[in-house]
Amino acid sequence: MNTANTKWVVAGLLLSILMAAMDNTIVATAMGTIVSDLGGLSQFVWVTSAYMVATMAGMPIFGKLSDMYGRKRFFVFGLIIFLIGSALCGLAQTMTQLSLFRAIQGIGGGALMPIAFTIIFDTFPPEKRGKMTGLLGAVFGLSSVLGPLLGAYITDTIGWHWVFYVNVPIGIAALIFILLFYKESSEHRKQQIDWAGAITLVVSIVALMFALELGGEDGYGWGSPKILGLFAVFAVFFAAFVFAERKAADPILPFWLFKRRLFASAQALAFLYGATFIILTVYIPLFVQAVYGGSATNAGLILTPMMLGSVAGSAIAGIFQAKIPFRRLMTVSVISFFAGMALLAFMTPDTSRILLTIYMILAGFGVGFSFSLLPTASIHNLEPRYRGTANSTNSFLRSFGMTLGITVFGAIQSSVLASRLKDAFAGQEGAASGFGGDLRSVFQSDVRSKIPPDVLNKIVDAMSDSITAMFLYALVPIALAAIAVAFMGKASASSSE
């Protein structure tokens, strides 16, 4: 492939990753408006869940299929399905329709992220892969922060439908670039599709993801028969998947990959980083609104320093990964991430925004390294026919970590908040009337100003304590990440180890 064509291919990949990675966050900020327009508040959670479940179920399947039959056809398929789903979402008239169309979107999204990184490895020589994965990783980090800002702006100025329609011109441009300029070998080894593995894996993923996404919602208590039943389905089908993979001639997920220390470490790190980074993007804006009393727009903008830090970290890791071992670079990553999270864990309502900005840059810089290093480490020295599988596994585990992290750390925050409020208002049951008994009032400036100062201070302190306590607990998985880094060995992106 000549240099001119390669530039257009990279442009297509960058647009695709930006679009797919940004989709969940851009939609989240529009959900309040969507619910008020379409109704169906009880179906609110399904809009997000449908997309996440479909995406994660599709990742390992598309990764394997791209190894078997080629990257281009499945990447193009993913783009087309994603665009169709986006257009349908914009046309949705009910929450049920929107949930269904989000699932269609998710199926397409499941092909885009893992195959995009794999195409980079197939296209570029080892000495250039680092810079390219650093660029893709930077776009991935950018999307997590740009999404909420763009979603809020589009919803307020144009309308929520365009949160979905905006994907169409971006996706069409990416599709044209890939169709016209990406050339790959037409030679692919004939293999037998592992149907048993594919079916059992998809069912187990769908059951687990719905259990985690719906658990704790109204009508879906963690001890309810519905949620327990979903966990049971997951356990049965995952056990069947493991059995099927051990018997399959060409399994969806070859377990021997996990015997490679570098691969296994990269997967553990993807999961642990996914579980912890997501809480920053969700709860830092919450802290700004509830504790500082900032507007929703200011809350979204506060993530900008973290975005810039992650982009810088991804770019630096991409530049140096061919010269410096993965382990050393990820050591810098863990130290920076741990330091940033530790400082955030000791914030108070009196912490200045300048200090908050510094803490976020530190954390974002550390996480940014992982965006480019972990996909590279996952594929390092693997034959091309295993690259799609390896990369999709990494993408899947990062996404799974994000889902589990929100569930677990969200429960911690809620528990600490309830405990702090109970202690703060012990013997003052009537104080709740000061804010209508609804904590959401602390996010609304017009209502917040009417809450008695002594009551507001107690609520703010409780909210601050609950969020910082969650950040403190998040240091545990980051510490575990340091252990995983120790097992990465001496390999660098350009080595043959």
Residue 127 lies in a domain: yes
**Do residues 151 and 210 share a domain?**
no
Q: What is the DSSP letter of 332?
A: H
**Do residues 82 and 219 share a domain?**
no
Residue 187 lies in a domain: no
Residue 277 lies in a domain: yes
* Cα separation, 85 vs 281, whole angstroms: 26
* pTM, two decimal places: 0.85
**Do residues 300 and 449 share a domain?**
yes
Q: What is the DSSP letter of 323?
A: T
User: Each residue of 339-376: pLDDT tens digit?
Assistant: 999 999 999 988 998 999 999 999 999 999 998 899 99
Which of residues 488 and 460 earns the better pLDDT score?
488
Whether 288 and 399 have beta carbons less than 8 Å apart is answered as no
pLDDT for residue 187: 60
Where do we find the tokens 């609804």? Answer: 438
- Domain final residue pick, 182, 213, 236: 182
Q: Which residue type does 357 have?
A: T
Q: Angle, nearest 10°, between helix axes 225-247 and 195-214? A: 160
* Cα separation, 432 vs 438, whole angstroms: 8
User: Each residue of 270-323: pLDDT tens digit?
Assistant: 999 999 998 888 888 888 877 887 666 666 677 888 888 998 999 999 889 888
**Do residues 39 and 108 share a domain?**
yes
Residues 6+ apart with CB under 8 A from 190: none
**Do residues 205 and 342 share a domain?**
no
**Do residues 220 and 334 share a domain?**
no
User: Each residue of 229-245: pLDDT tens digit?
Assistant: 999 999 999 999 999 98
**Do residues 399 and 442 share a domain?**
yes
Q: Is the pLDDT of residue 148 over 90?
A: no
Number of domains into which the chain is organized: 3
Residue 55 lies in a domain: yes
**Do residues 100 and 244 share a domain?**
no
Whether 375 and 391 have beta carbons less than 8 Å apart is answered as yes
Most confident of 130-134, 415-419, 422-426, 470-474: 470-474
Q: Is the pLDDT of residue 53 over 60?
A: yes
**Do residues 280 and 425 share a domain?**
yes
Q: What is the DSSP letter of 289?
A: I
Cβ of 490: how many Cβ atoms within 10 Å? 11
Phi, psi of 206 (to 5 degrees): -60, -45
- Domain final residue pick, 150, 182, 214: 182
pLDDT for residue 455: 76
Closest of 234, 205, 216 to residue 407, by C-alpha: 216
Mean of the pLDDT values across residues 53-81? 90
**Do residues 274 and 388 share a domain?**
yes
Mean of the pLDDT values across residues 461-475? 92
- Domain final residue pick, 253, 271, 290: 253
Mean of the pLDDT values across residues 169-180? 95
DSSP of 5-24, one letter per residue? Answer: HHHHHHHHHHHHHHHHHHHH
Whether 129 and 306 have beta carbons less than 8 Å apart is answered as no
Residue 485 lies in a domain: yes
Residue 443 belongs to domain with CATH number: 1.20.1250.20
Residue 324 belongs to domain spanning: 256-497
* Cα separation, 178 vs 325, whole angstroms: 32
**Do residues 229 and 316 share a domain?**
no
pLDDT for residue 440: 54
Whether 394 and 137 have beta carbons less than 8 Å apart is answered as no
**Do residues 237 and 286 share a domain?**
no
pLDDT for residue 113: 84
- Coil, strand, or helix at residue 309? helix
Residue 188 lies in a domain: no
Which of residues 477 and 387 earns the better pLDDT score?
477
